[in-house]
Structure 1
Amino acid sequence: MNDITLLTRDGVSLDVACPPGETVLAAAEAAGLFLPSMCHEGSCGLCRAEIASGDHDAGGQPGETITRDVLLCQCRPTSDMTVALPYAESAILRHRAPTREAVIERIAPAGASAVSLALRLRPDAELGQAADFVPGQYMEVAIPGTDIRRAYSLANLPNWDGRVEFLIRLVPGGAFSTWLGTEAKPGDALSLRGPLGRFVLDDTSPRPRCLVGGGCGLAPLLSMLRHLAEFQDMQETHLIFGANREAELFATDEIAALAAQLPCLTVTTAIWHPEGDWSGFTGTSAEALDSWLSNAATPPDIYVCGPPKLVEAVVTTARWHGVPEAQILAEQVQLR
């Protein structure tokens, strides 16, 4: 039996016993600690963490006793180990996320390459019908009749009516995209697990915020902005919404309406490859952030969601401008 110490981002230490041949993720779940994860197969990347000390076996390759990144669903300790988790203790559930049944109410285009998927949760004996989550979180959606699951951020607000809304990029050949494009229709039932995720606003921070989204990475940011508008938040907030082409933009009217409700909200729309008479910012979301940070009086809290390359570029830009790591929050969910 190996002793595993899990160190959270906010300094909490949690001890877990790991039997020989068991993964860190499975050992944590056996101890009642449900770390952020999804596929349990090493493909989604949500359980990524850093080994501070100890040896492990990952896919047959022994680990060296140095600081390194691992996927906890694949990491099998061969000694006592200390794992540095990239999130606070509050992101660790003490129970399994609930599974709910839902019915498709609407499928509508969202720009040239995405759809808006609106569902209604069915009443649950314990949970009722309410859609209870924190703006910024996501849910896993299962394709009917399969074991295929995808994670999508919620774009709407929590509500008592059981309404949930996702913005989903249509990827050619993607499992969920193919099902949405060829089979899905209103009235079809889906299975959802969640809410999940630690990508939520820090309501206690006095610093300005910058929300950066690329494509359907706008979904959790919309949920956050709707939350801020609901409470008439007066904190300085800047939204950067990026797309490859103008035709891929969506929710522009709603963003304008939110800006009208929130006097302290400013918006930059960035188009990487404009095709017409584009008068807005030309470039990527990361380049728009670079321009905005160059004029920022103080390092803001940065929230970014989108494709992995976009997230990486935004995080690199923020670091270059001296934004502390603790003020950079990134979420990556599967978009297929």
Structure 2
Amino acid sequence: MTVTLVTRDEARLAFSCAEGQNVLAAAEAAGLYPPAMCHEGSCGLCQAHVLEGGYEMGPHTASALPAGPGGVLLCRCLPQGDLTVQLPCTDAQVGRHQIPVREAVIEAMGPAGAGAVALTLRLKPDAAAGVGADFVPGQYMELAIPGTDIRRAYSLANLPNWDGRLDFIIRLLPGGAFSTWLGERAAVGDALTVRGPLGHFVLDESSPRPRCLVGGGCGMAPILSMLRHMAEFQDSTPVHLIYGANREDELLTVELDELRATLPQLGVTLSVWHPAPGWAGFTGTAAQALEVHLAEAAESPDIYVCGPPKMLDAVIAVARERAVPEAQIYAERVQS
């Protein structure tokens, strides 16, 4: 059977799909890599809409599905015949190159706020890729549990470098496969494979507009990478950070102090939904903080938001209510 992907700019990408094979797997087998993350029907990054043809959906998280008729997740969509699928991305956002898989070792790990781990990996030298960590700030890597095929996607918090260093902030989810391994068995010196870089959640550096970066939970990792990139290149674009958390002990304040020193134009709103008495920052959700910021802004900024699904959906809803154009909203969900 044949699957045809139709991009937002009307490119048509056709490939064969075997019986029982999902659309994402078939696309990747054909050398096409649409935006995707978890490959398990939970993150929602591979959302699309079927235009023509029959299909079945494998196990998935209902909240990850896009709204509207024919809404599917490519990683769980099983064609029952020829299928035509509308993608929300452009042709340029569909990768054409095989995604690198490299070996790495755990160099350091430690607490990063309540219920999260800061994990540093060091890539092993590779004949094709060398020793460096080459990626664009905002992208992510898939990490595999040693000895298994279980992979989880986590955004990078550091900058590209020649040393092969990869920094992650990973929330430990009760019962999660990777969380259990990381929290109970992983140790410095352990080896694991990494696949990537992946993702298109990156800064539009051609835009003249101010930026508003909204992060929550481990969604702060790519936001930190973007801000560090701006600081490294002395980018003078006006930028405001909204950092949301449920409690104060979830906030990572050390990194923000460093960024304030290197990005003098950086404004920061620390938003805590349920603060302890005496909290001096903003009380409320990240979406509520964004509503205040947009009401005071002289023009609609480019909005970059990364965090748990509920936070992300609320932030996007506020942006739309405030008439921020869709083309100025960049979003990426983190696994929750």
Q: TM-score scaled to structure 2, two decimals?
A: 0.91
Closer/same/farther in 2, CA of residues 142 and 30 from structure 1, 3 Å limit: closer
What pairs up with 1:154-165 in 2 under 5 angstroms?
A: 154-165=156-167
Matched residue, 2:6: 6
Count of residue pairs brought into register by the alignment: 326
Matched residue, 1:91: 93
Cα RMSD, aligned residues only: 1.9
Closer/same/farther in 2, CA of residues 6 and 184 from structure 1, 3 Å limit: same
Matched residue, 2:63: none
Matched residue, 2:49: 50
Stretches of structure 1 that go unaligned for 5 or more consecutive residues are: 61-65
Counterpart secondary structure, 1:286: helix
Measured in 2, the distance between the counterparts of 1:108 and 1:313 equals: 31
Q: Which moved more, 1:262-271 or 1:20-29?
A: 20-29
2:41, 2:73 within 8 Å by CA — same for their partners in 1? yes
Measured in 1, the distance between the counterparts of 2:243 and 2:3 equals: 45
Measured in 2, the distance between the counterparts of 1:217 and 1:24 equals: 27
Note the C-alpha offset of 1:57: 1.1
Closer/same/farther in 2, CA of residues 204 and 111 from structure 1, 3 Å limit: same
Closer/same/farther in 2, CA of residues 282 and 67 from structure 1, 3 Å limit: same
Matched residue, 2:250: 248
Instruction: For 1:200, give the aligned amino acid.
Output: V
Counterpart secondary structure, 2:72: strand
Measured in 1, the distance between the counterparts of 2:38 and 2:231 equals: 34
Measured in 2, the distance between the counterparts of 1:3 and 1:198 equals: 23
Counterpart secondary structure, 1:119: strand
Q: TM-score scaled to structure 1, two decimals?
A: 0.91
Matched residue, 1:63: none
Measured in 2, the distance between the counterparts of 1:81 and 1:325 equals: 28
Measured in 1, the distance between the counterparts of 2:42 and 2:255 equals: 34
Measured in 2, the distance between the counterparts of 1:263 and 1:56 equals: 55
Note the C-alpha offset of 1:157: 0.2
Measured in 1, the distance between the counterparts of 2:11 and 2:110 equals: 46
2:57, 2:72 within 8 Å by CA — same for their partners in 1? no
Matched residue, 1:288: 289
Counterpart secondary structure, 1:49: strand
2:43, 2:333 within 8 Å by CA — same for their partners in 1? no
Measured in 2, the distance between the counterparts of 1:261 and 1:187 equals: 33
Instruction: For 1:6, give the aligned amino acid.
Output: V
Matched residue, 1:31: 30
Q: Which moved more, 1:16-25 or 1:67-76?
A: 16-25
What pairs up with 1:1-336 in 2 under 5 angstroms?
A: 1-2=1-2, 4-8=4-8, 11-19=9-17, 21=19, 22-51=21-50, 53-59=51-57, 67-77=69-79, 81-250=83-252, 252-335=253-336
Measured in 2, the distance between the counterparts of 1:234 and 1:12 equals: 35
Note the C-alpha offset of 1:315: 0.8
Measured in 1, the distance between the counterparts of 2:106 and 2:131 equals: 15
Measured in 2, the distance between the counterparts of 1:29 and 1:171 equals: 29
